[in-house]
Chains A and B, each alone.
Chain A
Amino acid sequence: MGESLTGIKGAAELVLLWAYLPASVLYLMNALMGEKKEAQLLKKIGFYAILAGALSQTIAIAVAGPDPAMEMINPQLFTLSMFIYLGASLVYVFYSALKDSAFGELIGKVASSAVVIGVMYQSAALALRWVESYKFGDEYGHAPLSNMYESMVFFSWCAMLVYIVFERKYKLKVLGVIVAPLGFLGIAVVSLFGNADPSIKPLVPALKSIWLEIHVMTCFIGYGAFCIAFGASIIYLIRKGQEEDLEPSTAKRIYEWLGWGAAIGLLYVVADYFVPSLSVGREYLVYLNNNYPNMMFLPGKSPDMVDVTELTEFALYMANMFPTLTFYNMIGATAIGAAVGAVVGYLFDIVLKSVGSSAKAVTVLLRGTALFVASFFAFKYMLHNVSGDSWILLRGSISAIGEMSTDIAKVIGASGINQAAQDITLYSVVGAACILLAAFYSSKGIKDIPSRLMEEISYKSTGIGFPFLTAGIITGAIWANEAWGTYWSWDPKETWSLITWFMYAAFLHARYTKGWRGRRMAVLSIIGFVFVIFTYWGVNFLLSGLHAYGSS
């Protein structure tokens, strides 16, 4: 590659980086300015800036060709859009809480713009990833739909895209509270906590087919639509409860808090399952003990005072004491965490009421925080309290989190500290999610939404998702027939997609009779989405060992 080419490439990359940033700023400014003519202009400029960015990157690659030193830029953009969705989720909650205030409309606009910016970044990242795959050489190039990283990111993109359509159509921002976090999680699970590899891999022979693109795209647009249905159904359930019972009794409130606690517990279990580093298992404890002797496990002793044999003994003791976390431990921990969270949340409610706090937004945030903190520590405590001497570990776990975050520079092995960093991030995210859910639950924004509207959106989006799911299954069958010689082989993935299809078909038929409405439809819709997630994720992780069994 000549010097001049390198120059062009560098310049193009610069344009790229400097195009996205102002574009985002312009978008936000547009949101802030409201309906003025200048605002429209800013929006247009922003759009073209992003376009210019993507174009320049494409030129950079086309001109420069394969270049081993050139770095991929797309994961950065995905990460960026991820943080934008996270921010948007927050802003949506604020919007719900402060809808009727002077800034309500403005906040809503910022939230919507943020989602649009996120989708633009993500679209650019998807396009770039496609282009960048050709850097391997021409035979490597393929659409970014081939592995877990790529498909999760694409899932997030589809969900957000469908969401934008629905937001525009129904002029309704409340759904964003549920869907924007899902968009965030879609990227986060693979780029932040997960072990999915973001590097571009050449396609294995089985995937080298045009049906890959057709099949994955149809399926995922369907999944995106089901995502909306899921969000709408959740809001429906919340609203239905609120509409039916405006002044809940004490028993009902405790019951409600218990529900929240259980939901959070479930979040932990799910997070724990998919993020193994969270499990306080044997290896992790031994690792901590070996690498952070000064921190926690041997209180009152400085590192100098602890000798090697003592450490080793301690490591063995720990290993025996804490076998790798079992499912039952987690359930127990979840239950206790939920109960404690519920009680603390309820007490907090009473305290707030007696104080007569009128600042609604502050109240709900405090409430959520209290719930989270209580359930978090209860959960943590239970995890460590598998047997016997728990106090040391409770203290240890607290100090571990504190110290590890400050001690990050003292990393011995990079992979180890990343686990700790990931833990901290994950706990923060789960905590934030709790707070947000609590804030959202009692916000003004949600209380303005009639449950009937949510029911209708749920039905509408299912009506969009279902034809796409149908087409997805069919294109999959055609591909299977092209690649394996049979259009249907009862493979677990196929079967689960059929199960999902049956569920949504049942949903639509039940709805069509007009007899079935309300809660059970919402529950059916949520189950349907759980099935979607299982078809997509669970089958890969839980049934992969049985794949061979599935084919008849």
Chain B
Amino acid sequence: MGDVKKEKHVKKVSSRDPFDIIWDWLCSMKVNVIVLILLALTSIFGTVIPQGKPATEWLTNIKINEPALFEWYDFIKFTQLDNMYHSWWYIGLLGLLCITITCCSIDKFPVVWRFFTAPKRDLDNNQIKWMPLIETVTIKADMTETIEKYRGFLSKNVSGTVLQTQVDEEQHLFAEKGVYSRLGVYVTHLSLLVIITGALIGVFFGYKGSIDLYEFDPPKSWMWLRDGNTDKMDMGFMLQCNGYETTYYAPGNIPKNRNVNFITNGRETRGRQPNEYVSNITVTDNGKVVDTVYVKVNHPLKYNGFTFYQSSYGPAMTRDQQTGEPRPVFYAIVDAYRKSDGVQLMSNYLVDSTRPVNIPGTLDSIILETYSEGSLNGKSAKFNLYKRDGSSNSFWVHKKYPEKEDEREGDYKFLLRQVKPKQYTVFQVAKDPGVWTVYTGCGLMIIGTLMAFFLSHKRFWIRLDDEKNGKIKVTFAAIAHKNKENFEVDFEKMREKFLAVVEKKKKVKEKA
């Protein structure tokens, strides 16, 4: 580390042209820290000031509901604080962060790279002076034999690769562990750049939008693009909704708290809790049915790069022909038989309340007028039958009492399978080719931070000095660049093993 400082010092003194000044500025940690803090503090505004609201919203709702905020309207508009995460200055700050990160990394990386290309293999006298974890023994032994012994010690306890160097008369052995942890910081920095790249890919090549599908409507191939909600985009394939349903949890056995008064003041809530919002969707591509799937929250439909997320639902409405008032649409699924000969005319047939449908094989048609779901009769549908002679009559069909249909006067017998309000379901649609880049960046970031904070680079040296009288002075030293206290404990164990390498007999008592 000492030589790094020296190098920088030299650089600063020798040349001060503008490029160097800017470079030094971008590489300084101070700038980095200040940019991070600035990003943190300015981000707060966006969580307090409404984001992405059009001017009309400001001039109406916000003006009334939050007058204190509205007083700053001109300032907010000028500084783009109402859409700050997309404002030039916020993106500028993010850009500056990326630049400083890149510059810092480029500036420091060569030093770190030297740990890989040219590790310090020898233990010089200077190191012996300052290194805190060090141990020395003097033994009576043969040099080559001793080297092999200590080489074995290092390769067994540290790593397989032990480097041997000779400087002057001394022999040096070097082994290391976890040199990759030095890269953790750079992996983390790189990951941030990768994430931002992924985000940019998403911004430039992705789509965000929504699609609304009505139950049993014909397949649909276009979606609304999010901005403005007037632009449509063709997806190149079709979706059809075969049904939407909100399922509820069964009224469960709610465990009571023993000390309910102490803890909840006796409150207890029960009620129908939605379990899932489920749409059944058929995907059609080139006229062929590709798949029929259930789409739920947390279980999106993925097809052809598009992803569809269950986001909303509601009742389908239509305008009443007479009054012009909106009213809900119902639909029924029925089977129909001709009473005279028992021939089945309709099977699983959809009849809704918007327009009459022809009963196949006849000239009569039928429409759903209304429906009810009472405790007495269960699900019941009121149909209106238009006959070819112009007459019409309406009648109720009950799902619970199919036998009543036999008693009813008329040409046809109807079996009610289902009747309910027609619903629509809304999906958020996203096509984001940058997602996997972002995920790669995220993965790198997790790996990088783990490497940087949980691993440390541990280096071990053994130096053998031939004392010329058949004695060898063996010096063992080690250093870790992180978690130094833990390493002290590890070193203590290593030291014991180091001392045990040579049998006690051969050890020569050191002269003070």
Contact = CB atoms under 8 A, between A and B. Distances in A.
Contacts of B46: 490, 495, 550
Interface string A74-86: 0110010000000
A539 B36 contact: no
A72 interface: yes
Nearest to A471: B446
B44 A199 contact: no
Interface in A120-134: 132
Given A202-B275, A483-B298, A552-B51, A502 B253 contact: no
A2 interface: no
B298 A506 contact: no
Contacts of B85: 490, 495, 552
Interface in A491-549: 492, 495-496, 498-500, 502-503, 505-506, 509-510, 512-513, 515-516, 531, 539, 543, 546, 549
Interface in A87-142: 132, 135-137, 139-140
Nearest to A467: B449
A199 B50 contact: no
A347 to B, nearest CB: 40
Interface residues of A, number: 75
B298 A487 contact: no
Interface in A452-507: 463-464, 466-467, 470-471, 474, 477-478, 481-488, 490, 492, 495-496, 498-500, 502-503, 505-506
B40 to A, nearest CB: 4
Interface string B76-87: 000000010110
Most interface-central of B48, B53, B255, B267 (chain A CB within 10 A)? B255
B252 A506 contact: no
A299 interface: no
Contacts of A301: none
Interface in A193-220: 195, 197-202, 204-206, 208-209, 211
B37 interface: yes
A72 B268 CA distance: 14
Most interface-central of B33, B208, B439 (chain A CB within 10 A)? B33
Contacts of B276: 205, 208
Contact of B445 (A415, A470, A486, A510): A470
Contact of A414 (B86, B265, B428): B265
B453 interface: yes
Interface string B26-49: 000110110011011101101111
B509 to A, nearest CB: 35
Interface in B429-447: 429-430, 432, 435, 438-439, 442, 445-446
A202 B272 CA distance: 10
A486 B29 CA distance: 33
Contacts of A202: 249, 252, 273, 275
Contacts of A499: 40-41, 43-44
A502 B40 contact: yes
Contacts of A140: 249, 252
Given A485-B307, A509-B33, A510-B29, A208 B298 contact: yes
Given A506-B37, A509-B29, A71 B47 contact: no
A552 B46 CA distance: 10
A515 B32 CA distance: 13
B249 A139 contact: yes
A200 B268 CA distance: 11
Contacts, number: 194
A259 interface: no
A75 B262 CA distance: 11
Interface in A38-85: 66-68, 70-73, 75-76, 79
B106 interface: no
B272 to A, nearest CB: 10
B298 A198 contact: no
B277 interface: yes
A195 B265 CA distance: 9
A191 interface: yes
B265 A487 contact: no
Interface residues of B, number: 69
Contacts of B64: none
B230 interface: no
A486 B276 CA distance: 20
Contact of B268 (A136, A199, A482, A500): A199
Contacts of A471: 446, 449
A418 interface: yes
Interface in B258-282: 258-259, 261-269, 273-277
Contact of A539 (B47, B277, B428, B430): B47
Most interface-central of B266, B298, B300, B445 (chain A CB within 10 A)? B298
Contact of A205 (B30, B44, B257, B275): B275
Most interface-central of A487, A496, A513, A515 (chain B CB within 10 A)? A487
B298 A66 contact: no
B454 interface: yes
B254 A136 contact: yes
B256 A546 contact: no
Nearest to B274: A205
Interface in B214-269: 249-250, 252-259, 261-269
B314 interface: no
A482 B300 CA distance: 7
A546 B47 contact: yes
Contacts of A509: 29, 32-33, 36
Contact of B255 (A71, A477, A550): A71
Contact of A68 (B208, B254, B428, B430): B254
A502 B261 contact: no
Contacts of B261: 414, 418
B300 A135 contact: no
A495 B259 contact: no
Nearest to A524: B37
Interface in B389-419: none
Nearest to A482: B298
Given A140-B252, A208-B276, A470-B449, A199 B52 contact: no
A246 B40 CA distance: 37
Contacts of A539: 47
Contacts of A463: 453
B199 interface: yes
B297 A206 contact: yes
B453 A467 contact: yes
B296 to A, nearest CB: 7
B254 A199 contact: yes
Contacts of B255: 70-72, 132, 135-136, 199-200
Nearest to A197: B264
B450 interface: yes
Contacts of A496: 47
B309 interface: yes
B257 A198 contact: yes
A135 B438 CA distance: 40
What 9 A-B pairs are tightest by C-beta distance, nearest first? A136-B252, A502-B40, A549-B50, A467-B449, A506-B36, A513-B29, A485-B430, A492-B47, A72-B255
Interface of B: 29-30, 32-33, 36-37, 39-41, 43-44, 46-53, 83, 85-86, 199, 208, 249-250, 252-259, 261-269, 273-277, 296-298, 300, 307, 309, 311, 428-430, 432, 435, 438-439, 442, 445-446, 449-450, 453-454
Interface of A: 66-68, 70-73, 75-76, 79, 132, 135-137, 139-140, 191, 195, 197-202, 204-206, 208-209, 211, 414-415, 418, 463-464, 466-467, 470-471, 474, 477-478, 481-488, 490, 492, 495-496, 498-500, 502-503, 505-506, 509-510, 512-513, 515-516, 531, 539, 543, 546, 549-552
27 contacts: A67-B253, A75-B257, A75-B258, A76-B257, A76-B259, A79-B259, A79-B262, A79-B263, A137-B252, A139-B249, A199-B254, A205-B298, A208-B297, A467-B446, A467-B449, A467-B450, A467-B454, A478-B439, A483-B298, A499-B43, A499-B44, A502-B36, A506-B36, A509-B32, A550-B46, A552-B51, A552-B83
